[in-house]
Structure 1
Amino acid sequence: MKKYEQLAKTIMENIGGEKNVISVTHCITRLRFKLHDENKAKTEILKSTDGIVTVVQSGGQYQVVIGNAVGDVYDTILDVFGISANKEAGNDVANKKIGLLDRFIDTVSGIFTPVLGVLAASGMVKGFTALLVALSIIDAKGGTYQILTTVGDGFFYFLPIFLGLTAARKFKMSEFTAMGVGAALVYPTLSAIMKGQTLYELMGGTLFASQIKIEFIGIPVILMNYASSVIPIIIAVYFGAKIERIIAKFMPTVLKGFMVPFCTLLIVIPLTFIVIGPIATWAGQLVGAVATGIFNLSPVLAGIFIGGLWQVFVMFGLHWGLVPIMLNNVSVMGFDPVIVTYFGATFAQIGVVLAIMLRTKDKKLKALAAPAFISGIFGVTEPAIYGVTLPRKKYFIISCIGAGIGGAVIAFFGVKLFVFGGLGIFGYPCFINTVTNDVSGMYYGILASAVSFLAGFVITFPIYRDEKNITMTSSTAGKEQIVKQEIIKTPIMGKIVPLGDVPDEAFASGVLGKGIAVDPLNGQVIAPTDCTVVTLFSTGHAVGLITDKGIELLIHVGIDTVKLEGKYFTVKIKQGEHVKKGQILIEFDVEKIKAAGYSTITPVLVTNHTEYLDIIPTNKKEIKKDDTLITVVI
């Protein structure tokens, strides 16, 4: 630790002294300080100090970027200055409290990130198709229109299937099982059933009155349209992942391949139709009742409420509680003056996106914002929400503010919706009175959308700043990229052996996985983190683990030691058991194994390495307890 004492002293001196420190933790590369007064810190001096990569001030933290030695510097600071660690050092998420809203946004954004490209592309196709029809370039009844509509709508219609895949990766569920859940939600027969005969009405006379078309083992099923929906499949996969793990824990290995998905689908899909769907439906009805009540109290207040929160309602599927009110108003009164106040939301969103696109220096964000803006013009805002503003929640909130202002304008001028039709700029004709041909409503609609757009743009443009991220160079990619990492502590202590030097071609070639090997100094294999034992050889010479974060590990004690048939090995765990970090898994006699003519070099491999950007082994020569053995780049 002495080698880092001077660096530790320099850091503490230039952040304003230990009295200026509220707390300090560390992640993969950074010391994360919470300071009483960041103005007391001498940032430029720290940036020029040897051993410090840079300094980042973000999220209420003063972050000193060290690199691989951050753990040693952190320990030295604690030791020399007597500062108490408020948490065990680990990854970013583990070391800071995350609110429910932050967790939700992180989860939804992570699920949508892989599909953003095709989401934006589909939205652009939908928008351009509507434009071609509006300009009479193509016939809305012709084959060209039908094909283009299929191209644009196909992805959105089957969105639950795609989100089933990405949510499965997020929640660590079998991908194809999760896609099966998504496919069930958009199964075509459901639409026909929803139009069929009503068996009876559930909770008639109440806000939650629902027509029951079918039952499942005597339980009423409240059907709803899940095409293009988001939240139901995410919730279903979240619970499905937990159910799948429970089933897998008790299922015999020989049956897991087909019985685990069999049982999981039989539980999760009915659960989604019976519980998750109805809850979403009733929540939507409750929102509708609240919106109508507010409008009766004050139209402008209702405009702010509906307009400002419309995008949130859509994200949760709660807008389905408002759409029936709109349709009912149009059919009964000939117009809707209430729900129409949502109209500015699209334009507020694209106003924010345009400001970000013009201000950002991030090429990837700029490339994503451009098609999101274009599709948003035509009313398709999912790429803008999930790809641009929601991950940067401050700007999503700004879009809601702009939408609320637009909603207030619509309500103030008494704008009415006469036809339920187009979105975005193609929604303007919906404000024309089809009886009197009065177009004044359209002009006010254009005004409201312009106000929403300008509000989003004007608020965002002067304050937007790219998020400060630290880039690291991947050891295999050879180029800089923004990364997240998971740390695998060593399960065995000893001298490091590069994987290519392992005296076994299968391990050395990497065909069994990527990682590193250890020549053990003692005879214990311990759990590198909290994980589940998924494979346990009866001979005790090898064990397969899956960490709670989904990283699959193979620890193989020695080379060809399977031939010992369990001799000199003592197994301390059972297959399917969930073990804690540091728990002893296997004990073995190093000297007796060597005396029997076998190498004890132990490969530690990440077998599902193809799911990650990179697998980075330690550069240490000797590894001790709690040392990092492998860094998994996500």
Structure 2
Amino acid sequence: MKYQKFNEEIIQLVGGKNNIQAVVHCMTRLRFTLKDRSKADTEKLKAMDGIIDVVSNNVAYQIIIGTHVNDIYKEMVEMLGLDPNAAEGQPKEKKNFIKAALDVVSESMTPILEPIICAGLLAAFLSIVSLTGIISPESPTYQILDALRTAVFYFLPIFMAMSCAKRLGASPYLAVALAATVLSEQINGVEGLSVFGIPLPQITYANSFIPILLAVWFMGYVTKFVKKIVPNALQYFLSPLLIMLITLPATLIVFGPLGFYVGEGIIGFFNFLMNTIGSWFVMMLYSALQPFIIMLGAGNFIMPVVATMIASNGYDPAFISSCTISDIAVGGAMLGYFLRARKSQQKQLFGTVTLSAILGVTEPAIYGVFVKFRRPFIAVMIGGGLGGLFAGLTGVKAYSVAWGLFGLPSYIGQGDFKNLWLMVTSVIISFVASAIASYMLGIPSEDEDRTDQHETSTKTVGDSSLRSLPLGNVVSGEIIQLADVKDQAFSTGALGKGIGIVPVNNEIYSPVEGGVTVVFPTKHALGIKDVNGVELLIHIGIDTVELEGKYFELFIKQGDHVKKGQKIANVNFEKIKEAGYDPTTIIVITNTNAFLDVLPTQNKTVSMDDLLLNIVF
């Protein structure tokens, strides 16, 4: 644990584990409910490195740490043996069943992409060395290397079991034991089996993931049930045995066949789609829209489909090829911007993200450029769509999971050079078309004007000309200088320079354009990072974390992109005051040290047309 020693010292100085009744956190501090506050050594806590201040009031015993408190809190509750959800007093979020299932699949696939990609690139390497005669396919060296490639997919259920077990509340070791059992030669693909007299269908578990995913999901519920009925003294001995005795037969009778038929259904659906409409449509659509899919956080949702298709057909007729075509199109769009840009800083940015996109890593381009300038999305839709259309019409196949330039050799397959050249042609089309489209669309003038305005807005101080960035207002009201705010974490300036406002209406607006970096579950605080790198914390009210979201209505969530002046929340400040809380809304620049100064407005009151802060750099 990164903060283990830090947390150990805090626990000791608040009176030990037995003195802690509960602990929660907000944006900047840990809030302890102590059985006996007199046991806490406040002065020693204040003297600790990493602690800004300690505040003891009617609300809680509060240790002010900073905006990284969430990481400290996670380790703290684990050390104390507490349930984070119960400790925070937050009900678990109820998700739509389909969304929850897709989240589990996506999150489980992410950790095992590493061996899958390794196997894909190894397949490409073996294709090249065998075709050039460097290594014969019959040689022991080739057979050993090929064993690594085939093993990754054959033992896919074991990788999946290990990846998803904790997420689904099961023991990773028992989950792996279950996966290894169904892959054994006594079960995998064997005909005529029965358990407790119940005949079992012939199921091949190798190269699959859905049966074991369903089985581990069931194992999670069995684990909770068994731990409730088995006495603590016998947990170590009896629990694993009972869990396996229940889960293994259920897997063979129910979840194995169910998962097998679900997998067959997935293959059947996409085969039907490609046989009726055509693979060209699927590839064109996905190649054009992949950047949007990545922005939605659903970039890995196709991996289970791809794994199933490769296991069933020996190749993927649509998605991996589309991923590569789209990635190269992103690189082409960034090259167009690189050629169009006039400023050295922009050229450096566009050049860097061009290279990473071509190599198959598009997130820097999408989040660093696409979100801000928007027009590259159109360029990729044009270039990626054309490349995907060509690949679909010519029947390009991906024989393994490998994308980007380094993955192109894997399209050779078993000597299928025609497939390789068709894929190379597809990515050239996508790259060139995207580059031309982005160059012709140009860098939006409004973004250049905004950048120019920020770079040329100056304040003269003595003989120096300093650039400044004005920030808009958050809420109309009466100005309070930060030093007068009744919260030491803010008034001391420890969290950064800023300002306070006593609101006169209930609407909260974004003072900048940027990305929402954090939204606290109780809705009383949120962070925004603007397009110039300014990091803001908007803290609505003092100690309002105790309201647990009551009287707050947010219109944004973490990851959203907001415009300057966009309405982001409604807050019933009258109800907050009636509940006994200070409604002062605080705005601080948490990365103040990155700038020369942060200058608050000198107005006594502000409306939504006024500027709130000036960032000098």
TM range (shorter): 0.3 to 0.5
> What's the TM-score once normalised by structure 2's chain length?
0.42
Question: TM-score normalized by structure 1?
Answer: 0.41
